[in-house]
Amino acid sequence: MSTSVDHREWDYSKSKQRVYNVTSHICTFLFLNVLFTFAVFNAILQWLKSLFVRLNRKETPTDPKSKAELKLISDLNYYFRLYGLQVNTYDVTTDDGYVLTIQRIIDPQESAEDRAKRLPILCVHGLLQSSGSFCSSGKQSLAYYFHQQGYDVWLGNNRCGFEAKHTFLSPSDHKMWDWDIIDMAQKDLPALIEHVLISCDSQAESVTLVCHSQGTTQGFITLDSDKFGLSSKINCFVALSPAVFGGELLEKRLFIRFIAWMSLKKFFFGINSFIPFAMTMRKYIGTSKAYCQLSYMMFNYLFDWNDTLWDQDLKCRHFLFSPVYVSMKLMAWWLNSKEGFNQSKAILEPKNMCYTCMVHPVYTYSMHFLISKVCIYPALTNKKLLE
């Protein structure tokens, strides 16, 4: 299994850190301007195409929304209160000192006896996302659905997130950003699971783990040969759009290939967080529709994904809770074609797989896990869903 670019601690002199900070700010500013130009040009082409080509697409049915639901507020608790629920937020500290945020959805009117009947389910987000990705679709979101189905819903956030916090390191210290997917699998996920089991009212001994994209990578690495002793604490692992090997997206999208090439050039993206300017923009203008449109144009251009299946009334809400802070070291791991994720091999070799796996609804094959149930839901393109 190849899971790390170079897990030795980065160590740079203060003068070199200053040089990288200056050059990376200049380079990323120019990079974002070029990206914005291409994204706008792509958006214009898409608009012109729509004038001449009638898209055969199924509109996602939507329910009537109140004015309160349509407001853009960067607070999950605001939206859940509209449905009579409440989001409680807690801090969780990892073994290496990072302070994570975990959220729990509760019904404040529910009795302690009824709450104790709910079994815990932990949701873990994807790359550059937060727990908000499980909630931004309102009553159509997974978090709301799980709660309505009787689960005790917990929403995990990986290290740094919206605010980089550590017990003794500061965000300006490059050591604060010396981590990649291995640390997230070895430190973050176990800390989140332990907190859920200690804090849930049901006194359950295991959780249902639902992960999306990068979160699935954490889960697979964590469970590989049960190196971290979590197999007995997870009763079912649900992998949504599992990220286990590099595919077409990383190989054919030219702009992503450029980012991958530059990800190992420390003068370009630096040695701390990945494009922190993007998080600054989200902080100050993230609740504006202009930010939503800009984010969508970037999203559409970079990944060639669209909003065909989205609830258009809630489109802007999807960008309220992303992006978040991640380390440049993590991005280098995702994009590196030599020793990181973007290579021809899967992150787990077949001979090392030790669990039974269900892949639904497109693919079926067998693997062997130490836990009893693993459900994999591959990503479906809009074309497949419309056929």
* Chain segment 247-258, per-residue pLDDT in tens: 666 677 777 778
381 Cβ contact partners less than 8 Å away, ≥ 6 residues apart: none
pTM for this structure? 0.85
pLDDT recorded at residue 343: 57
Tokens of 292: 């939503």
Positive or negative, the Cα torsion across 273, 275, 276, 278? Answer: negative
pLDDT recorded at residue 224: 78
Q: Which CATH class is domain 15-52+70-380?
A: alpha beta
**Look-up of token digits 């990892």:** 94
Give the three-class secondary structure for 238: strand
360 vs 346: which has the higher pLDDT = 346
**DSSP alpha helix (H) spans, the chain:** 14-52, 67-70, 76-81, 112-115, 142-148, 181-183, 189-199, 214-223, 248-252, 254-262, 266-269, 276-285, 289-303, 328-335, 382-386
pLDDT recorded at residue 299: 87
Contact 241, 212 (CB under 8 A): yes
Q: Which residues pair with 377 in a beta bridge?
A: 240
298 vs 347: which has the higher pLDDT = 298
* Chain segment 56-74, per-residue pLDDT in tens: 555 555 677 888 888 999 9
- How far is it, in rounded angstroms, from Cα 163 to Cα 170? 11
